[in-house]
Amino acid sequence: MAEAKEEIPSSNEFKGAKVAEKNPLLLIFMIVQTALILVIGAMQFTSHQKIAQEQTIKDVVQAEMLAQTEGAVEAKKDAAKVNDPDGINFPLEPITVNLAQTDGPRRFVRFNAVLKFSKDSKEEEFKARSAQIKDTIITLLNAKRPQDLLTIEGKNFLKEEIKSSINSFMIDGSVIDIFYVGFQIN
């Protein structure tokens, strides 16, 4: 009896073999379905690759901002090296300073200027003293009230104060003139 059990295949194995033998259409359907899944997967992969290579708005904006900042840095370097027949122009970085407190709300000034140094000035000196120049300007602006700076006379007086303060610590050369590039009081 033990020998009879070994020769008889189990019913599950027997049925699976019979189905495959009897229904070749099922086998063809499974092969076609698998091929179709592979083709769809390949198409999705290539479309995602194309989408990933396209520039987004974020990429365009970042590239434009980078180009503008690089251009501004180069322009500032070029402007610093421009020599007038009368002297050397030295652009300052924009400065934002709180003004002296009055009865009203707190006010501040955004200040951007170009300093014109005499011909005998050395570029290395005013580059080395740029922190001292900014400190002098900030100190002078902190002491001003908005009413002092709203008039033309007040702005011209500020120019003279800045010139005399900077010239007090310059060794070679001096500030001849100051040109306001930006002056906004808020």
Least confident of 20-24, 34-38, 161-165: 20-24
The answer to whether 126 and 115 have CB atoms below 8 angstroms apart is: yes
Asked if residue 1 has pLDDT above 80, the reply is no
Mean pLDDT of 2-28: 62
CA distance 52 to 144: 55
Residue 42 banded pLDDT, cuts 50, 70, 90: very high
Contact 100, 143 (CB under 8 A): yes
Q: Residue ranges of the domains in the chain?
A: 2-53, 58-185
What pLDDT was estimated at residue 41?
Answer: 95
58-185: what fold? Answer: Tetrahydropterin Synthase; Chain A (3.30.479)
Asked if 115 and 89 touch (Cβ cutoff 8 Å), the reply is yes
Asked whether residue 35 carries a pLDDT value surpassing 80, the answer given is yes
Q: What is the 3-state secondary structure (H, E, C) of the chain?
A: CHHHHHHCCCHHHHHHHHHHHHCHHHHHHHHHHHHHHHHHHHHHHHHHHHHHHCCCHHHHHHHHHHHHHHHHHHHHHHHHHCECCCEEEEECCCEEEECCCCCCCCCEEEEEEEEEEECCCCHHHHHHCHHHHHHHHHHHHHCCCHHHHCCHHHHHHHHHHHHHHHHCCCCCCCEEEEEEEEEEEC
* pLDDT tens profile 110-127: 989 999 988 888 888 888
Q: What's the mean pLDDT when you consider all of the chain?
A: 81
**How long is the chain?**
186
- Side chain identity at residue 59, one-letter code: D
- What is the Cα Rg of the chain in Å? 39
Look at residue 15 in the predicted model and tell me its pLDDT: 56
The model carries a pTM of 0.53
Q: 149 pLDDT band (50/70/90 cuts)?
A: confident
Give pLDDT, residue 21: 64
Looking at residue 34, its pLDDT comes to 95
pLDDT exceeds cutoff 90 at 72: no
